[in-house]
Amino acid sequence: MKPAAANSPTSAAMTTTKQPPPEKPEAVRLRTKIVLSFWAVILLLGFPTWWQTTSIYRADLPLQDMLNWAEGLNTPTSIPLHIWVSAPNLPCPDAQRIVRETQQALDDLNEYPTLHQRLYLVNWWSTGKDNKEEKGTPSTSCGENPSSPDLGDPALRVLLEPAKDGFAFELDPVIAKAVVYIPRTDANNVSKRLAENLHELFKEEQVAAALQTVALASHTQNAQAFLRSQPYDVVTRIEKQINRAYKSSSEFHLTFSLFTAGGVPSSWDVQDALSKHIQPLVQALSNTSEFDITTQIQLYSSYSPAIQPVTKEGMEGAFLQQKDLTAFVNAAEWPLAPSIGDGPTINFILYVPVQDEIPLKIDGVEGTSWLIPQWGGIQITNPPLQPDPMTGGMSLPAHLAGELLRQPFETFSSQLLSLLGVPQANQSGKLLPLQLRLDAYKRFSTLTLYLKAASSLGSLARLAQRLSNIPIQKHVAELVDDAIGNLTAAEHAFLESRWDAALIHSRIAYRDSEKAFFDKSMVGQVYFPDEHKVAVYLPLLGPIGVPLLVGLLREIKRLVVRKRGITP
């Protein structure tokens, strides 16, 4: 702003004599006006601009609220698991007594409040759909109406039946239903045994939930105490199961890839194999997550060059070292992890080696498939050689027919379940009914997403508190509000044991909290020390600030002098 510097002095008296003539009053007034006009621009426009542009925008976050969520202060103290009991063929008082006593026994067995089983006498048998052909005899309408709003989603339906001989607890092989035969004689023992059975059924799920709580929440004395009361090997097994699985997500991409080391086989009956082995699973899991399936074939794709299979005397084919299996995937050349959408990609690779190496096996193991935790499954297949009509020799088939794919895809489907974290065979090597396991997976997912969302909020709050110069945009605050709203809704759903609703809300809460934490706008301000700021402002303060300040000081001095000149 040179004129300020140049004009005001020029307008002052200029003279060749030593004593400048007195300034005219108009000139003085004019100079005052000019100085003031510059200062008006500085004060009225400059300072607001400076304030507006150099302050970092930080939207108000409900920090305390977020921290409370992360610390679990808002988490429900107990998450019940509803079990519906129906006893159409028992007298109502008996049924009520059994339910009451079993509940008591359960409470004694198990003090951990998360996924604690709660029995309800519900009249689901008589009103149950399509049961007429099963010849249900709706004799007593004992218990609540299944559509009653107080009831949540049942984790298990139990049918109590009178029995001649001893107590029996029979699970349906597929769906979440159990039939319990109650002997008329030994009434006391019945409740206890029923409770034990139920407890056993959900114990591992509770362990998994407790492990996840310990890993993700901050106030976990309860969960830790519960875990300590459980046998060590069960806990480690379940922990391993959790670690193997992908992190819960609302969307998964399944990529099935056929990599062949040579030019053949160049096609496979993948649609057929998928619809037989994978689709049913995906459909059953579809209420927990969405699944996208993609398939690809790449010819002439060799495994990573670091791997050298060995040949053995007297045995045909080649052998992979077990230690090489981690490095088998040729990440540089195989088009994996195509980053479609938000969710993670689970890879399933079917590898056909070159003809010279067939059969390619793994040294010291029988199978040819392996699983890489949190990544996917790999299967080497050695298709039978066929006579080649062109050369007369033996060669690989050009097409992998459905029969050749059956075994690999069976492996893939079991790998898929374990990669997702669907509970596996329990201690005794027994599998629970599929429906129960899928439901357990759903509940585990819900809880995980819920805990993760809460913990993300806490992370964001602590971040916002610690890094004072990180900008926080308005939409981040909106996402946080959203996440908190959904967490609250999920919490209510938990209390009512409405797992579908809880899943939906936890999923949104998780998505929003992650989006908020990983918002790309929160990288802007890198560390900028104060001495650098001075360097930035110095050019302003020097050539512009000084003349303006001097002008202002002169004006003030003149005013002071004039006042003094008048007063005495």
- The smaller minimum CB distance to another protein, of residues 141 and 469, is found at 469
Restricting to residues 125-144, which ones interact with another protein according to CB under 8 A?
Answer: none
How far is 350 from 378, CA to CA, in rounded Å?
6
| Cβ atoms 259, 301 nearer than 8 A | yes
Residue closer to another protein, measured from CB, 526 or 566: 526
List, as one string, the DSSP characters of 510-568. Answer: HHHHHHHHT-GGGG------HHHHHHHHHHHIIIIIHHHHHHHHHHHHHHHHHHHHH--
Of 92-100, 107-115, 439-447, 482-490, the segment contacting another protein by CB under 8 A is 482-490
First to last CA, the chain: 38
209 vs 396, which CB is nearer to another protein?
A: 209
- Name which position in 187, 365, 398, 538 contacts another protein (CB under 8 A): 365
> Using CB under 8 A, which residues numbered 532 to 561 contact another protein?
536, 540, 544
Site for another protein in 490-519 (CB under 8 A): 501, 504-505, 508, 517-519
- CB 166 to another protein: min, Å: 27
Query: Looking at 59, 92, 337, 354, which residue binds another protein (CB under 8 A)?
Result: 337
Taken in order 191, 194, 200, 205, is the CA torsion positive or negative? negative
- The SS3 of residue 349 is strand
447: Cβ–Cβ under 8 A, 6 or more apart, which residues?
A: 79, 114, 209, 212, 213, 506
Q: Which of residues 14-73 bind another protein (CB under 8 A)?
A: 14-16, 20, 30, 33-34, 37-38, 40-42, 45-46, 49-50, 52-54
E strand intervals along 455-548: none
Q: How many residues bind to another protein according to rule CB under 8 A?
A: 129
Q: Which of 84, 259, 351, 370 binds another protein (CB under 8 A)?
A: 370
Q: Which is nearer to another protein, 425 or 559 (CB)?
A: 425
Binder among 313, 527, 563, 564 for another protein (CB under 8 A): 527
Stated as kind and residue range, the H or E segment containing 116 is strand 114-121
219 touching another protein, by CB under 8 A = no
Contact 455, 428 (CB under 8 A): no
Instruction: Show the binding pattern over residues 258-277: x = contacts another protein (CB under 8 A), - = does not.
Output: -------------------x
If one asks whether residue 3 binds another protein (CB under 8 A), the answer comes out as: yes
Q: Which of 166, 263, 280, 542 binds another protein (CB under 8 A)?
A: 280
Which range in 79-87, 113-121, 230-238, 257-265 contacts another protein by CB under 8 A? Answer: 230-238
Q: How many CA atoms lie within 13 A of 190 on its CB side?
A: 24
Q: Is 7 in the site for another protein (CB under 8 A)?
A: yes
Cα(504)–Cα(493) distance, integer angstroms: 10
SS3 (DSSP) at 469: coil
